[in-house]
């Protein structure tokens, strides 16, 4: 049987629908940091729509093809993730995705970490906590509708001064690719696979690391090779500055890459990728049972690891804890019970 980046079939969670049909504005969930949602301006709606991005965030993402969310992770969350990497540094390997063409070349390969969800306790826990993080819900609900899923396995890229970059790439809108696209119609945006990059160390302008060509998710012509190699028209390329704890979420249709790392401090970028509930980018054959360690996850975290399907899919409610299993969630967010 072929291996898949995520070998997770549908677990039998045994969850019952949420009995509350009131507007969530009238319900208090102690697990939610309401102050954080107020800061981001995210509005609360009923379970029929799910919490969504605010209007400013929608404008910025629609315009640019990426969005930086400041202070997404708390200092404590950043510390826990960094401590886990420090304790498992022997697991680093050279990044197998090495394409440092042209002026993306460097003297060193990137360090690459994967398999964090299966690390020994307590080191696996901060990575598992990100699977259904309450602050993620507004973004993924808006981009996919409800019922999204993880695509690929999480990984981290680390770099020191002199580390190579990665050539620019992205599907754009030149041809339609259902696995990596951006579209907007009838008041809704929809995406193929997206990437959430959590920065665990500061990235200043010019340091290197993640770079994008803003607005390129709507481009209609092929990217010239010398731009992909970062040899000409460099002013088009934006090196996204971040503080530790910031998250950058970008569409796979957006042209993006990695600039060579030039800073004295180490680069630490943690990547989680998500897709709509009906597709999986990585491909492969699913096993018929969950790995044993998945039993240690919460029902919401298990729901993120489900394979692609529509009917009776577990849906994460706005508290990021409760699971419902409707027959289907319609494109407008309403629920079909039968």
Spell out the domains of the chain, with CATH numbers in brackets: 64-285 (2.60.120.620)
134 pLDDT exceeds 80? Answer: yes
pLDDT range class, residue 39, cuts 50, 70, 90: very low
Q: How far apart are CA 275 and CA 247, in angstroms?
A: 17
CA-to-CA distance for 202 and 267, rounded, in angstroms?
8
pLDDT of residue 30 exceeding 60, the answer is no
Tokens representing 209 are 């690391």
Tell me the average pLDDT of the chain: 84
Decide if 266 contacts 160 (C-beta within 8 A).
yes
pLDDT given at position 313: 87
Mean pLDDT within 145-155: 91
User: Which strand (E) or helix (H) includes residue 69?
Assistant: strand 66-69
Beta bridge partner(s), residue 45: none
Q: What is the mean pLDDT of residues 4-32?
A: 34
Q: How confident is the model at residue 177 (pLDDT cuts 50, 70, 90)?
A: confident
Q: What is the DSSP string of 300-326?
A: HHHHHT--S--TT--EE-TTSS-EE--
Q: What's residue 337's pLDDT?
A: 66
CA distances from 255 to 4, 154, 172, 216 (A): 26, 21, 7, 6
The pTM of the full predicted model, rounded to 2 decimals, is: 0.79
Give the pLDDT confidence score for residue 26 in this predicted structure: 31
pLDDT at 282: 60
CA–CA distance, 198 with 269 (Å, rounded to integer): 6
- Give 252-293 pLDDT, tens digit per residue: 999 999 999 999 999 999 999 999 988 876 654 455 578 899
Residue keyed to tokens 């092929």: 222
User: What is the pLDDT confidence band of residue 190, given thresholds at 50, 70 and 90?
Assistant: very high
Q: Identify the pLDDT of residue 38.
A: 36
pLDDT of the residue at 184 = 94
* Residues above pLDDT 70, as percent of the chain: 81
Greater pLDDT, 337 or 199 = 199
- Return the CA Rg of the chain: 20
**Helix axis angle, 55-64 to 137-144, nearest 10°:** 60
Residue 166: pLDDT band by 50, 70, 90 thresholds?
very high
Residue 100 pLDDT? 76
Does residue 298 carry a pLDDT above 70?
A: yes
Per-residue pLDDT at 8: 35
Instruction: Give the residue from 18, 62, 25, 20 showing the smallest Cα distance to 43.
Output: 25
pLDDT of amino acid 47 = 41
Question: Which is higher by pLDDT, 96 or 46?
Answer: 96
pLDDT band at residue 111, thresholds of 50, 70 and 90? very high
pLDDT tens, residue by residue, 74-103: 999 999 999 999 999 999 999 988 877 889
Q: Residue 5 — pLDDT band, cuts 50, 70, 90?
A: very low
328 pLDDT tier (thresholds 50, 70, 90)? confident
């Amino acid at each position: 049987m072929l291996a898949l980046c995520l070998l997770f079939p549908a677990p039998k969670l045994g969850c019952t629908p949420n009995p509350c049909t009131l507007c969530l504005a009238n319900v208090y969930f102690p697990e939610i940091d309401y102050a954080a949602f107020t800061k981001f301006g995210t509005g609360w709606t009923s379970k029929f729509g799910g919490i969504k991005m605010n209007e400013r965030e929608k404008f910025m993402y629609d315009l640019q093809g990426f969005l930086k969310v400041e202070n997404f992770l708390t200092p404590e969350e950043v510390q826990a993730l960094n401590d886990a990497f420090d304790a498992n540094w022997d697991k680093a390997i050279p990044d197998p995705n090495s394409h440092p063409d042209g002026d993306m070349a460097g003297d060193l390969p990137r360090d690459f970490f994967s398999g964090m969800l299966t690390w020994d306790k307590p080191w696996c826990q901060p990575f598992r906590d990100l699977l259904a993080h309450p602050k993620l819900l507004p973004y993924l609900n808006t981009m996919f509708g409800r019922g999204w899923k993880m695509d690929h396995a999480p990984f981290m890229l680390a770099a020191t001064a002199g580390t190579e970059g990665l050539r620019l790439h992205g599907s754009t809108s030149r041809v339609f690719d259902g696995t990596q696209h951006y579209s907007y119609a009838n008041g809704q945006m929809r995406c193929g696979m997206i990437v959430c990059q959590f920065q665990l160390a500061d990235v200043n302008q010019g340091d290197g690391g993640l770079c994008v060509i803003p607005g390129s998710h709507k481009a209609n012509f092929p990217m010239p090779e010398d731009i992909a190699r970062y040899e000409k028209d460099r002013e088009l390329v934006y090196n996204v500055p971040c503080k530790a704890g910031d998250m950058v979420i970008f569409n796979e249709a957006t042209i993006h890459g990695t600039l060579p790392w030039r800073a004295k401090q180490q680069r630490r970028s943690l990547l989680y990728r998500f897709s709509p509930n009906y597709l999986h980018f990585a491909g492969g054959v699913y096993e018929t049972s969950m790995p044993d360690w998945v039993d240690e996850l919460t029902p919401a975290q298990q729901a993120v690891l489900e394979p692609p399907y529509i009917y009776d899919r577990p849906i994460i409610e706005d508290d990021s804890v409760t699971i419902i299993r409707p027959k289907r969630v319609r494109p407008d967010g309403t629920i079909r019970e039968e």
